[in-house]
Amino acid sequence: MLTTRRRAIGTLGSGLLLSTAHGQNTNAPETVAGIPVNYDEARVGTYTLPDPLTLANGQPVRDAQTWYRKRRPETVHLFEENQFGRSPGRPPGMSFDVFEKGTPALDGTAIRRQVTIYFSKDKTGPKVDLLLYLPAGTHKPVPLLLNIRFSANSTAVDDSGIKPGEIWGRDRKKIPAPKSSHFPKLNVAPFLARGIGIATAYYGDIEPDFDGELVYGVRSLYLKPGETAFALDEWGAIAAWAWGLSRIMDYFETDASVDPKRVAVLGVSRLGKTVLWAGAHDTRFALVIASCSGEGGAALSRRNYGETIKHLTAPSRFAYQFCANYRKYADHVNQLPVDGHMLIALMAPRPVLLQTGDTDRWSDPKGEFLAAAAAGPVYHFLGKQGLDTDKMPAAGQPILHDIGYYMHSGGHGTIPSDWDQFLKFMNLHLKTA
């Protein structure tokens, strides 16, 4: 099992390092878990996407009320049952410890606040540390970008006042976070300058990212005595990380400095899948930015290009991130009742931005574009603007409508210039300063 974890982190690390390699590596392995990978458009095959605006009983969705009352909940349920798994609601014993109320930080541009969110009455159990920077000198609730990350809060920003965090080390034990991390730092300054707060949390605080992890993370609180696995339609790790984001949102609703109606959420890669599911499931998130979410995220699963469900759920890879039912579709993708376009459509009418990279072929940037285009009818139906084109834009050409798409020139992950688009998208849609 340990080897599984090392492999997982190794893949992740190298994947994200490509972001700095900027186009030098195409992130296109030829076989993964012994399964060949297709990168030939001529061999993608044909497919028919499920219609997001047709109910499971075959009736068309004719008005917004039917979307909100029937088709939307039905679609959420289909994703729960077949892809991410059902998760519980807010736990009754949860509490917030605002252990740092507000300290001037970052050369006086910010107020730093730190909070521990305990998921149960037992304070030795799973908990998440939240780090928040609020723009200095603002007296009204601010819009905020919440970034769920692969590294401890203490390595996210150059600030010695951050509580030293812990990360998962070898042997499935938490160890003190190293002083630095190869994951890019948070680009806080331009957001603060526009009156936007920034918050971050380490995904491993919520649930570790390795197979067989049930006893370590938040899901352990929900295992019944003697149970060692969840049912086929119960939560995998992505749903647990998304659940943690909702608990952070519960905290924001109690923080007078934050406008809970203008909280955006950002994640990269498997955390791009996570933020899409968080936004689909919890409509309190006002805006989602999903970076390179790929297969199991925004990319169309029915398109046989780059990673497929079969690669993703191979036992040596990331099956544990999804509900067990998802594996059924490894060889039967056309039977999956949902696809990436429907995950995007669940954000409607709220804005969603997909950021991809032109050499990140493994994550299929075109599959994400096609999914975004196919989610357009739901946005139009609700009076919002989809991509409004079926021509995929070149790298560096953003579309920042209610559905946004931006492909940088380069590989997997985010690069510094992506942050300019994130800020622009938030300014446009959350009407920030």
In the complex, which residues of this chain contact ligand GCU (CB under 6 A)?
11-12, 15, 269-270, 294-296, 307, 312, 318
Q: Please give the backbone phi and psi of residue 76, each rounded to the nearest 5 degrees, phi first.
A: -55, -45
Based on the number of CB atoms within 10 Å of its own CB, is 391 exposed (0-12), middle (13-18) or buried (19 or more)?
exposed
Count Cα atoms within 13 angstroms, Cβ side, for 430: 31
What is the 8-class DSSP label of residue 356?
E
Catalytic residues: 269, 412
Of 207, 196, 162, nearest to 181 by C-alpha is 162
Of 270, 327, 261, 258, nearest to 294 by C-alpha is 270
Alpha-carbon torsion (354, 359, 365, 369), positive or negative:
positive
Shortest CB 384 distance to ligand GCU, Å: 27
Q: Which is closer to ligand GCU, CB of 75 or CB of 291?
A: 291
Q: Which is closer to ligand GCU, CB of 204 or CB of 260?
A: 204
Q: Which is closer to ligand GCU, CB of 12 or CB of 199?
A: 12
Of 292, 299, 307, nearest to 355 by C-alpha is 292
Query: How many other CB atoms sit within 10 Å of the CB of residue 190?
Result: 13
Shortest CB 356 distance to ligand GCU, Å: 12
Q: Which is closer to ligand GCU, CB of 4 or CB of 11?
A: 11
Shortest CB 204 distance to ligand GCU, Å: 13
Q: Please give the backbone phi and psi of residue 216, each rounded to the nearest 5 degrees, phi first.
A: -100, -30
Of 8, 50, 10, 35, nearest to 309 by C-alpha is 35
Query: How many other CB atoms sit within 10 Å of the CB of residue 51?
Result: 15
Shortest CB 323 distance to ligand GCU, Å: 16
Q: Which is closer to ligand GCU, CB of 259 or CB of 364?
A: 364
Shortest CB 159 distance to ligand GCU, Å: 26
Shortest CB 4 distance to ligand GCU, Å: 13
Q: How far apart are CA 247 and CA 128, in angstroms?
A: 9
Q: Which is closer to ligand GCU, CB of 8 or CB of 115?
A: 8
- Residues whose CB is less than 8 angstroms from the CB of residue 50 and which lie 6 or more positions away in sequence, other chains included: 337, 338, 339, 342
Helix (H) or strand (E) segment spanning residue 290: strand 287-291
